[in-house]
Chains A and B, each alone.
Chain A
Amino acid sequence: MTMGTVFALLGAALSALLAGVGSAIGVGRAGQAAAGVVTEDPNKFSQVLIMQLLPGTQGIYGLLIAFIALTNIGIMGGDPNLTTSEGLLYLAACLPMAIVGLVSAMQQSNAAVAGIALVNKRPDQFGKAMIFPAMVETYAILALLVSILAIFGVAALH
């Protein structure tokens, strides 16, 4: 086992960890707001549930990056011998998803909570309420993309 593998695994773990934490916080916050709406009007359950789930995707993206990283490192079957610089490359590749995932999920939950309040007052505006959190998610998607491309790129190097 080399130091490089340690760094690479650290990267994979961070992306699942930070993005997951962000989503957990985000979905939790939105869930509180959603539950409040349902106490008033149980019929809005499906609408506010969708709103609650929106900040949850960062956790999935984090898992995705972690998984791609794990397979490419060779932790999940293969030869996990990376040089230190290769390991650091993987770590760097995972960071966009890890950090942007954490922050964007929390920010997205603020937009989702506001959107839930909007749906509560004007259920007909659901389509628009959904777009505001989705705007925040764009940056998580961009980070996901950079991380994916970087991991595939690094994998092609060795």
Chain B
Amino acid sequence: MAVMPMKRMTIIALRRDRKSILEYLQRQGEVEIDRDAPEDEFYHKIDVSGSRQIFEKNVQLLDTALSVLASYAPEGGGLLSSLDGRRILSLEEYESALSKRDKVMETARKIISLQKDDAEAKASVPKLEITKESLAPWKDFDLPLDHKGTKKTAAYIGTLPGEMSLEDIYVALAGVSEHSDRFDVNLIASEPQQTCVMIVCLREDAQDLSEALHRLGFAKAPSSSDVPAQEVSRIEAQIARAGAQSVTIAQEIAALAEHRDDIKLIRDYFALRADKYEVIGEINQSDKVFILTGYVTAKVAPKLESALNDKYDIILDLADPTEEDDVPIRLTNCGYAWPIEGLVENYSMPGKGEIDPSFITSLFYYICFGLMLSDAAYGFILAIATGICILKFKNMESGLKRTLSMFFFCGVWTIIAGFVFGSFFGDSVSSIAQTFFGVDKAAADGLLPALWFNPLNDPIRMLTFSFAFGLIHLFTGLGVLIYTDVKNGKVADAIFDGVSWMLFVGGCVMLLLTMPMITGMLGLDFVLSGAPAKAAVWITLIGLLGVVAFGGRESKSIGGRIGSGLYSAYGITGYLSDVLSYSRLLALGLATSVISSVFNTMAGMVGGALPVVIGVILYLIIFLVGHALNLAINALGAYVHANRLQYVEFFGKFYNGGGRLFAPFTAKTKYYRIKED
């Protein structure tokens, strides 16, 4: 439950060990290496972008090969297999597999070139189909389409626009030429769009005919040196061949799928090398040695130090970071608070002097979620589903495991809230008893009584509870503020910003409770009077005085100080809206149970009106679909608003963030995790 202390690490080592040391650090993934260390006349950076680009290109090539394999030979494994993490490989296995590197690259290139061939084969088919189509009207023509005539005659083979009969053609020719009687027209086919013709004339009239045809919009037939029928069968053979080729290629690629695991491994290998070369380009080196600086957590520093000293001839120095250093932040938390680290990371890492808020947030976050989903059955579904996934997939990546653990705890608190407020699939117990067992409403409602009360029957009580919960949450936030200030030696700030606000807000709440109007509205059966009421006045006044007197202590002038002090007292309205904001606990909780009961009522109306068997089936269908929908939408709502209550209301009181997440130099692989004992 804390921010891990960091050490500043400096390593000076021989350049011949550079590769080995960096690979070791990369596999360990515990050191954040400085990327902007300044050069000097002795140490300077070297340019390795050339080699890096080669590795990155290889990664790209292998990724392409993998995606080709995925489309020709899809990998098995259901939806849940994505929960399983990267496969674990020992260092020896990894290193022995690397000898296949060149062979794997060759296989990958082959896969890609096969895929290109397949694409070409597939692309040729539509082109051939079009040619075949254009030959269709000529299928009975028994001359090659590029026939130009004989020694004495000229032949024009082609199409005229529109559907024409033989007479139409002669009429049209007469309209554009004086010698139309010297042309011999053969009608081949007449179609709605075009008319296929062969027109023959003597060589000496060819010029004349050509001009006439040009005016009529004559288009030459598709050129082919074969008789159309033969040409068509030749094209058909080509199409069949392309299809067959495509099938063979697909089989060939599918046969190469056995190398998939090797390709994945080599892909990771090149990705690692690319990352390593990126670092090599960032560290300072001389002719014989290199110098590497960075951060390492104090916890692993000694272990890492002795391991490195055992293996290599190096100078390793560990120092505490100075005030000026921009120390990265890594959090460490145990079980219950660990999942909340993700929430904190999403907001911002703790800034200088701030504590890790994960633990304190975990005390409220799950409960907020539980109160908003507040249905025991939904809680069971959430907790059991996430629990099984966590247990079954031992190898799961830690980020995913963290999220699932968070929903597991959320589920547990949803179960608790569900029983406390009497909701199990909404009012399903009562609905089923009424629909199928003929129990009357009053008795059915009593079958699953709420351990405390049912907010549907008494929403005001739930509202009061929500406000009270909110006040505790906000005061805890102020408490953390006081704690942090005291820890950082800013006792004055703790008193002025923390304690005086606590008194002021607390006093105001007590004052409100002295008013019968307010307690009546909130459904409370007591009114503060006598000594507590008097105390409330004093507490409020002391708090207010503290806020007004010290709220503007940054101002130089007296007037400015009083002014801004008074203005900061106006911040009480902020507390009012903060507390009111917790009414969402009631609203979202009610939303779950009311929508549940909408579906239960619908199911009951349908199921109760029909004979038993069909009734039960229809009841179940409506029930399952309805509750699946309700669970999805309300779990989303509970998640979003539980986050909001932490980020806006809770963190707003004490937490600014602004720290930098610890980003160690690590093996960013996609498929394999290399384990070193």
- The verdict on A22 contacting chain B, using a C-beta distance below 8 Å, is no
Q: Which of B101-115 contact A (CB under 8 A)?
A: none
For residue B633, which residues in chain A have a CB less than 8 angstroms away from its CB?
53, 56-57, 60
Smallest CB separation, A35 vs chain B (Å): 19
CA distance A130 to B587 in the complex (A): 19
For residue B598, which residues in chain A have a CB less than 8 angstroms away from its CB?
63-64, 67
Q: Which of A46-65 contact B (CB under 8 A)?
A: 50, 53-54, 56-57, 60-61, 63-64
- The verdict on A42 contacting chain B, using a C-beta distance below 8 Å, is no
CA distance A144 to B584 in the complex (A): 9
Smallest CB separation, B332 vs chain A (Å): 20
- The verdict on B361 contacting chain A, using a C-beta distance below 8 Å, is no
How many chain A residues have a CB neighbour from B under 8 Å? 28
Question: By the criterion CB–CB under 8 Å, are A128 and B347 in contact?
Answer: yes
Binds B, one of A6-14, A83-91, A98-106, A133-141: A133-141
Question: By the criterion CB–CB under 8 Å, are A64 and B346 in contact?
Answer: no
- The verdict on A38 contacting chain B, using a C-beta distance below 8 Å, is no
Smallest CB separation, B212 vs chain A (Å): 55
Interface of A is mostly: helix
CA distance A50 to B590 in the complex (A): 22
How many chain B residues have a CB neighbour from A under 8 Å? 29
Q: Counting chain B CB atoms within 10 Å of each CB, which of A54, A134, A149, A152 scores highest?
A: A134
A76 (CB) vs chain B CBs: closest residue: B601
B647 (CB) vs chain A CBs: closest residue: A131
Question: By the criterion CB–CB under 8 Å, are A54 and B640 in contact?
Answer: yes
CA distance A134 to B639 in the complex (A): 11
CA distance A137 to B645 in the complex (A): 13
For residue B614, which residues in chain A have a CB less than 8 angstroms away from its CB?
none
Smallest CB separation, B573 vs chain A (Å): 15
Which of A68, A126, A145 makes the CB contact (< 8 A) with B587?
A: A145
- The verdict on B580 contacting chain A, using a C-beta distance below 8 Å, is yes
CA distance A141 to B459 in the complex (A): 14
Question: By the criterion CB–CB under 8 Å, are A148 and B643 in contact?
Answer: no
Which of A53, A64, A76, A138 makes the CB contact (< 8 A) with B590?
A: A64
Question: By the criterion CB–CB under 8 Å, are B591 and A53 in contact?
Answer: no
- The verdict on B594 contacting chain A, using a C-beta distance below 8 Å, is yes
Instruction: Return the CB mask of B580-598 against A: 1 if under 8 Å, else 0.
Output: 1101101110110011011
For residue B279, which residues in chain A have a CB less than 8 angstroms away from its CB?
none
Q: Using known A-B contacts A141-B584, A145-B583, A149-B459, determine if residue A60 contacts B595 with beta carbons closer than 8 Å.
A: yes
Question: By the criterion CB–CB under 8 Å, are A127 and B584 in contact?
Answer: no
Which of B590, B640, B648 makes the CB contact (< 8 A) with A148?
A: B590
Which of B347, B587, B594 makes the CB contact (< 8 A) with A141?
A: B587
- The verdict on B637 contacting chain A, using a C-beta distance below 8 Å, is yes
- The verdict on B636 contacting chain A, using a C-beta distance below 8 Å, is yes
Smallest CB separation, B150 vs chain A (Å): 61
CA distance A128 to B355 in the complex (A): 20
- The verdict on B644 contacting chain A, using a C-beta distance below 8 Å, is yes
Q: Report 15 cross-chain contacts, Cβ distance below 8 Å, ordered by A residue.
A: A50-B640, A54-B640, A57-B633, A57-B637, A60-B595, A64-B591, A67-B594, A126-B346, A128-B346, A130-B640, A134-B641, A134-B644, A144-B587, A145-B583, A148-B587
Closest 3 CB pairs of A and B: A127-B346, A134-B644, A64-B594
Show the binding face of B for A, using Cβ within 8 Å.
Answer: 343, 346-347, 459-460, 463, 580-581, 583-584, 586-588, 590-591, 594-595, 597-598, 601, 633, 636-637, 640-641, 643-644, 647-648
Show the binding face of A for B, using Cβ within 8 Å.
Answer: 50, 53-54, 56-57, 60-61, 63-64, 67-68, 76, 126-128, 130-131, 134-135, 137-138, 141-142, 144-145, 148-149, 152
Known contacts A67-B594, A141-B588; 7 additional CB pairs below 8 A are: A57-B591, A57-B633, A61-B591, A64-B598, A127-B343, A128-B347, A135-B648
